[in-house]
């Protein structure tokens, strides 16, 4: 009798376990449905938004507040076409700002969520002749988002095959945020350019509204000091301006967050971003120099990391990131990894 009771208890416990697993799986499926069918406002904390004055429960479309429209509805081409037409017909003279509200909401979604549907919707606005100039009014915020999440825009283009927005950013961001070589030449500046320099001034960086972006750039920054000769612009005094080189930051952030196919898109269409502002200072070639006759290509930035390849001394390499004590390099065989800076020799 005791054995029978034990068996019955065991069967009962197994049934409870099965029921529990079913409930757990049902909950997972519910979350998946919710994620696929969430609303524009879901996941957004407007109290930490980098754009101010986002007011909920003010603008409606077909009797529904815009922020409560489901993303799955906006993925429907017919619905989206009708909605964008509605936004394009709004009139500022009648205090109708639905298009501005929608754009600001998408920009904040991009800031706070890695939801590529936001890229698709921003691209749809950019491609709409009646709405694109409203987005251009927020181009500085858009450019700042790109520096914060460059991988997001590449992923979005790869997924939706929409490149107009990225090409616009690639063409116009540099003149808004960066400083090119001709500017330094025209103002008689003493400066030592690093290899592959995309320079943004410290003052411009500090004006950004996304605190996380400023923190990221501060961690990855390569400082470049520019001494301006006396001129009318400097009040006839010497002036020192601090710039940060963001080239390595962009390259590393992209390669860290993109998959193989997305990296191919980046390399083919955009590397380097902002080519017209890229300053090719410093040395043109790099090679390995090691008294042992070779050096180790490491998987990570430490001497105990996995060895990916032994590189013969004297062999030329491509330096992808020269910030810090460990350089990210690419060998002639195409392998990428880290080599201590003391093993890398530069030359013209």
Q: pLDDT 10s per residue in the chain (348 long)?
A: 445 545 444 444 444 444 444 443 433 332 333 355 799 999 999 999 999 889 999 999 999 999 999 999 999 999 999 999 999 999 988 889 999 999 999 999 999 999 999 999 999 999 999 999 999 999 999 999 999 999 999 999 999 999 999 999 999 999 999 999 999 888 888 888 888 899 999 999 999 999 999 999 888 878 999 998 877 766 677 889 999 999 999 999 999 999 999 999 999 999 889 999 999 876 557 889 888 899 999 999 999 999 999 999 889 888 887 777 898 888 989 899 999 988 988 754
Structure confidence by residue, pLDDT tens digits, 97-117: 999 999 999 999 999 999 999
Which residues partner with 239 through β-bridges?
228
To the question of pTM greater than 0.85 for the whole model, the response is no
Structure confidence by residue, pLDDT tens digits, 177-206: 999 999 988 888 888 888 889 999 999 999
CA-to-CA distance for 246 and 282, rounded, in angstroms? 16
Measured CA angle at 49 (ends 87, 110), to 5 deg: 60
Tokens of 141: 């915020």
Burial status of residue 124 (CB atoms within 10 A of its CB: 0-12, 13-18, 19 or more): buried
Which residues partner with 243 through β-bridges?
201, 224
Q: 280 and 195 in contact (C-beta within 8 Å)?
A: yes
Q: 179 and 201 in contact (C-beta within 8 Å)?
A: yes
Q: 121 and 104 in contact (C-beta within 8 Å)?
A: no
């Amino acid at each position: 009798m005791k054995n029978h009771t034990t068996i019955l208890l065991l069967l009962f416990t197994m049934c409870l376990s099965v029921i529990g697993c079913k409930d757990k799986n049902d909950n997972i499926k519910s979350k998946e449905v919710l994620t696929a069918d969430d609303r524009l406002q879901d996941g957004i904390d407007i109290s930490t938004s980098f754009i101010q004055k986002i007011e909920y429960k003010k603008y409606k479309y077909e009797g529904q507040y815009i922020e409560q429209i489901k993303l799955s509805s906006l993925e429907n081409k017919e619905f989206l076409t009708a909605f964008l037409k509605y936004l394009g017909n709004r009139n500022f003279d009648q205090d109708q700002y639905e298009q501005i509200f929608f754009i600001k909401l998408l920009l904040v979604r991009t800031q706070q969520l890695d939801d590529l549907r936001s890229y698709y919707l921003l691209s749809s606005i950019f491609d709409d002749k009646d709405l694109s100039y409203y987005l251009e009014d927020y181009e500085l915020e858009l450019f700042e988002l790109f520096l914060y999440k460059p991988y997001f825009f590449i992923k979005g283009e790869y997924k939706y095959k929409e490149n107009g927005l990225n090409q616009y950013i690639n063409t116009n961001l540099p003149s808004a945020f960066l400083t090119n070589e001709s500017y330094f030449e025209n103002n008689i500046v003493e400066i030592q350019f690093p290899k592959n320099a995309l320079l943004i001034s410290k003052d411009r960086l500090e004006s950004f509204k996304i605190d996380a972006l400023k923190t990221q750039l501060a961690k990855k920054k390569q400082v470049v000091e520019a001494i301006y000769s006396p001129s009318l612009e400097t009040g006839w005094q010497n002036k020192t301006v601090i710039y940060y080189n963001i080239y390595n930051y962009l390259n590393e952030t992209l390669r860290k967050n993109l998959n193989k196919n997305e990296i191919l898109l980046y390399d083919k269409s955009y590397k380097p971003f902002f080519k017209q502002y890229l300053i090719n200072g410093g040395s043109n070639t790099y090679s390995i120099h090691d008294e042992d006759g070779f050096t180790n290509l490491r998987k990570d930035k430490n001497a105990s990391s996995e060895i990916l390849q032994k590189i013969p001394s004297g062999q030329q390499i491509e330096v992808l990131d020269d910030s810090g004590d460990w350089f990210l390099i690419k060998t002639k065989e195409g392998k990428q990894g880290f080599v201590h800076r003391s093993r890398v020799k530069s030359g013209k």
